[in-house]
Amino acid sequence: MKLQIILLWAAVGIYVASSFLYIAGLVFKRPKFVKSAGLAVWLGLVPHSVSIVLRWIQAGHGPYVDFYEVAGSDTWMALVLFLIARYKFPKLDPVGAVILPVSFLFLGLGVMNSPEITQVPDSVRTFWLVVHITFAKLAYGSFLIGTSLAAFQLLKERGLAKQEAAPGVAASTIPVEGMAGTAVGKRGGFLDSLPEPEGLDQSSYRFLAVGFFFLSIMILAGSIWANNIWGSYWNWDPMETWSLISWLIYGAYLHLRSTFGWRGRRASWFAIFAMAVLLFALFGVEYVYRTGHVLYLNRPFPWDK
Amino acid sequence: MFSFLKSVKLAIVLIALLTALIVAGMVIPQANLKPALYAQWWASHPGVAVVVQRLGLDHTFTSWWFLAVVGLFFVNTLACTVDQAVNAWRLAWSSRSGGLQPAGAGTSAGYPEEIATSVLHGRRYVVRGWDYPAEGTWVFLAEKNRAGYWGSVIFHAGLLLIILGVVYGSLGRFEGVMLLTEGERRVEGHGEYIHLEEGPAFAEAHPGFEVGLERVRHFPPTQKTPAGMTSGLTLDGKPFQLGQQAPLVYRGFRIYQDRFGDAVSLESDPGRGAPLQFTAGLLDQITTDGSKVSRGSLVIPGTAVRARLTLYADAALKDGKLFASSLVLKRPLLRVILEGSTGARLFQGDVKAGQGIHAAGLKLTFTGASYWLALRIRRDPGQDMIFAGFGVVLLGLILLYFLIPRKIWVEIKPGSGPDCRDGWQVSVRGSAPRHSDLLEAELEEIRRKLAETPGVYSADVAKGELRFAARGGHWT
């Protein structure tokens, strides 16, 4: 247990350093800092992954039961998705300035939470639980990246508006490889490192649409799982209901984009609002409601620890 | 009317309304979902609670206005789906409606055609048809991912199937909780349940099988698994093992273990005739003075004496006091308080299994302890429809987001101007319902590929125009 905690704290430390490098790299216009920050994520994933594997072996179940496990595995998935995304679209690299701080904060909160192992009966560990949990992590990772892109879209658009308002500043147009659009901004400014707002907007949309797909699978698999073990596919449990609310909100986002042509600022603000609801569904519900989402795993043993 | 019902604006309004109502249902305590919490809230907010109750906000998810919004959402989704299906049909088959000749018919455009079709085939495009708009000019249409047009239709059809499944399921559903103590048998039927919910179309279709509880086995927790239990059941005389959170399916009904607890078997002998044996399930499980105990009370049959019973399932002495760390039966000890009809206490004492007491003119023997089990028996005829709907929804999403349909038109016409001599001019254009930036990227890739082929002597990749020399010609 001690080793897991030490490894996770090491990962938190590396992610803090990576966040610092990302932000410093963007603010002080040092591309080398940004590059090093990306390498630091790879480095941080080593102790992070080892810690998750150790916990898995020790607990005898996957990392999905308590906040300690969920925070550790969700941030891991978000960071892995981010690394895949930046490999595919190198211009996404600066998005790390949002993803890394969010990740180390959640991971830190998770480590500070009780690492006591909650036992899970064998009977609930079914195929559908694996699908439910895997897609939950994929969904949250995709939404986090999509929302970060939306936030950068807003920043970029604001920067461009300011630039247009300031006379005598030349704009540069840099072709972007692997992404829609080109980077436009003040020559040498930190916004240069980002694609143009339309490209960010499109990429954000794609991640959110894929996240919606994953979220749908998560809800559907959870529902089948619940039906198999408790006899009811829908219990109006606060966590499942808030997940449904998130799903409806993302559904509205996709409709607003595809039918009403919502793009740019409006779509980005909506994406940030949807993410706030999703974060509440994932982490906030347990503090407000008495949800049995995880505790149900041990039902019906009210008298046994 | 249909244009109003199929309106996407209406869909957005309904999604927003549904979301708001569900949030309201999450913020306001719901009487039917959390009765204890609701009672607590009612006691602390009596003024607001009355208003909430009058408006029906305390049972949001079963209120007529919530169901009305869901109903309207269903109608809207149905209308949208029909409209989208018509559009998808038109888009998917527009090559026919556009009057194109089938692929392979007519004269060949020669070398540029071979090159263009080969490049498009390499990118999984299928040539759908040809047109000859002017003398010596060929236009052909190539498509891929045509199934993607149906993504939205299939996704919404899946949602409709889920809603239909929920409605069908709630009409014909049945759920009941039956209490059994070890060794007891009951014939399934309306009167045998302590809690019952039946849909209006269930029509008393009870299967009427015999249920017996043979034995409940308790497993202590291990390092990796929590405590568990299994029940040995008989159904119509056949033995079955029922696991924790692992139901049995019998004659279309699903049988689950729900709560369980301790029961005591007693024998009373009031001295008038034969002794009477009976078993009492102690439903009240509480912690008192640090001990986990089961409690219950009953009027002893044939007398006016009320017995208040507290069972220490695993009794031990701790600091001179009776203590039990769990409700798992190991060393049962029963605390008995007998009261007369006026409530006057007649007796209080502790007995072990096999021991009896003499008080108030009767002999009461604690013959042993066992477990009671609440079986939840349910049937939901809409369940399979809902799960089929889930599958359809996912299929729709896959088609919608991972199979974007694309159309590409290639126009081949005789070259003009002094450079073209006997060659051709080729133009490439395309369309896609979503992600037009990705289509543009692909078009550029196709044009670049075409421009690299021998025989092309002039290419404007951005415009999509290429000039081919005559077969065998070369760049000059």
**Of B226, B376, B438, Cβ closest to residue A304:** B226
pLDDT at A302: 31
Pair A264, A186 in one domain = yes
Same structural domain, A114 and A139: no
A236, A286, A297: best mutation site toward chain B, by most B Cβ within 10 Å?
A236
- Sorting pLDDT into bands at 50, 70 and 90, what band is A25? confident
Confidence at A248, pLDDT banded by 50, 70, 90:
very high
DSSP string, chain A: -HHHHHHHHHHHHHHHHHHHHHHHHHHTT-HHHHHHHHHHHHHHHHHHHHHHHHHHHHHSS-S-SSHHHHHHHHHHHHHHHHHHHHHH-GGGGGGHHHHHHHHHHHHHHHHHS--PPPP--GGG--HHHHHHHHHHHHHHHHHHHHHHHHHHHHHHHHHHHHHHHSTTPPEEEEE-SSSSSEEEEETTSGGGGSPPHHHHHHHHHHHHHHHHHHHHHHHHHHHHHHHHHHS-S----HHHHHHHHHHHHHHHHHHHHHHH---HHHHHHHHHHHHHHHHIIIIIHHHHS---TTGGGGTT-TT--
What is the percentage of chain B residues whose pLDDT exceeds 70? 88
Query: Are residue A19 and residue A156 in the same domain, yes or no?
Result: no
**CATH number of A39's domain:** 1.20.120
Task: Kindly determine whether residue A123 and residue B12, on different chains, have CB atoms separated by under 8 Å.
Answer: no
Is residue A28 located within the same domain as residue A86?
yes
> Do A281 and A172 belong to one domain?
yes
CA distance A167 to chain B (A): 31
Per the structure, the count of domains in chain A is 2
**Interchain CB contact of A291 with B (< 8 Å):** no
Distance from CA of A43 to the nearest CA of B (A): 31
* A20/A100 same-domain check: yes
Q: Which residue of B has its CA nearest to A288?
A: B27
What is this model's ipTM? Answer: 0.79
Q: Do B225 and A290 touch (CB under 8 A)?
A: no
Mutate to test the interface with A, among B9, B13, B26 (most CBs of A within 10 A): B26
In this complex, which of B33, B225, B401 lies closest to A210 when CB atoms are compared? B401
pLDDT value at B307 more than 60: yes
A64 & A213 share domain: no
- Inspect the interface and report whether the beta carbons of B437 and A181 lie closer than 8 Å: yes
- A145 and A100 belong to one structural domain: no
Same domain assignment for residues A94 and A131? no
Same-domain pairing of A278 and A299: yes
* pTM score: 0.81
Q: Across the interface, which of B376, B383, B394 has its CB nearest the CB of A227? A: B383
pLDDT (tens digit, 9 = 90+) per residue, A169-205?
444 443 334 444 444 444 456 677 778 888 889 989 9
What's the whole-number average pLDDT of chain B? 83
Please name the residues between 42 and 61 in chain A that touch chain B, using a CB distance below 8 Å.
59-61
Last residue of a domain, one of A98, A119, A140: A119
Instruction: Return the SS3 of B337.
Output: strand
The pLDDT of residue A292: 63
| A178 and A298 fall within a common domain | yes
Chain A from 202 to 221: CB within 8 A of any B CB: 202, 206, 209-210, 212-213, 216-217, 220
A133 and A191 housed in the same domain: yes
Show residues of chain B in contact with A244, CB under 8 Å.
22
Residue A91's domain comprises 1-119
pLDDT digits (tens, 9 = 90+) for B383-429: 999 999 999 999 999 999 889 899 888 888 776 655 544 567 778 88
Question: Last residue of a domain, which of A66, A89, A119?
Answer: A119
Q: Give percent above pLDDT 90 in chain A.
A: 41
Distance from CA of A248 to the nearest CA of B (A): 7
Cβ–Cβ of A245/B23 closer than 8 Å? yes
CA distance B126 to chain A (A): 26
Chain A interface disruption, residue of B8, B245, B282, B286, most A CBs within 10 A: B245
Let me know how long chain B is. Answer: 476
Least confident stretch, A293-297, B340-344, B460-464? A293-297
End of a domain among A69, A87, A119? Answer: A119
CB < 8 Å to A226, chain B: none
| Residue A249, pLDDT above cutoff 90 | yes
Tell me: cis bond preceding B454? Omega within 30 of 0 counts.
Answer: no
